[in-house]
Amino acid sequence: METDIFHPKLIEVFNGKTIEMTACGDYHTCAVTHSGDLYTLGDGSSGCGLLGHGTDVSHWIPKRVNGPTDGFQITFVSCGPWHTALLTSTDPLFTFGDGTFGALGHGDRSGTSIPREVEALKGLHAQHVACGVWHTAAVVKLVYKSSTSGQGLYSSSAGKLYTWGDGEYGQLGHGDDKPRLVPERVSSLVDTDFSQVACGNKLTVALTTSGNVYTMGKDGKGSNLYKRVFSQSPSPVLGKRSSTPSPSPSFSFRTLEATPDELRSSNDILSMELKSLRQQVDKLSTKSQSLESELERKSEQLKEVAALHGQPLKLKKARLRKK
Domain segments of the chain: what residues? 12-257
pLDDT score at 38: 98
pLDDT at 251: 35
Identify the segments of the chain with pLDDT beneath 50: 150, 152-154, 222-229, 242-257
Of 137, 139, 155, which is closest to residue 147 (Cα–Cα)?
155
Q: What is the pLDDT of residue 150?
A: 46
Spatial separation of the C-alpha atoms in residues 69 and 194, rounded to whole Å: 27
For residues 134 and 169, the answer to whether their CB atoms sit within 8 Å is no
Instruction: Tell me how long the chain is.
Output: 323
Q: How far apart are CA 10 and CA 303, in angstroms?
A: 83
- Asked if CATH classification 3.40.1440.10 holds for the domain at 12-257, the reply, yes or no, is no
pLDDT in tens, 40-51: 999 999 889 999
* pLDDT at residue 310 in the model: 59
Question: Would you state the pLDDT for residue 2?
Answer: 62
Three-state secondary structure of 226-243: CCCCCEEEEEECCCECCC
pTM: 0.69
Residue 207's pLDDT is what? Answer: 95
Dump pLDDT digits (tens) for 46-78.
889 999 999 999 999 999 999 999 999 999 999
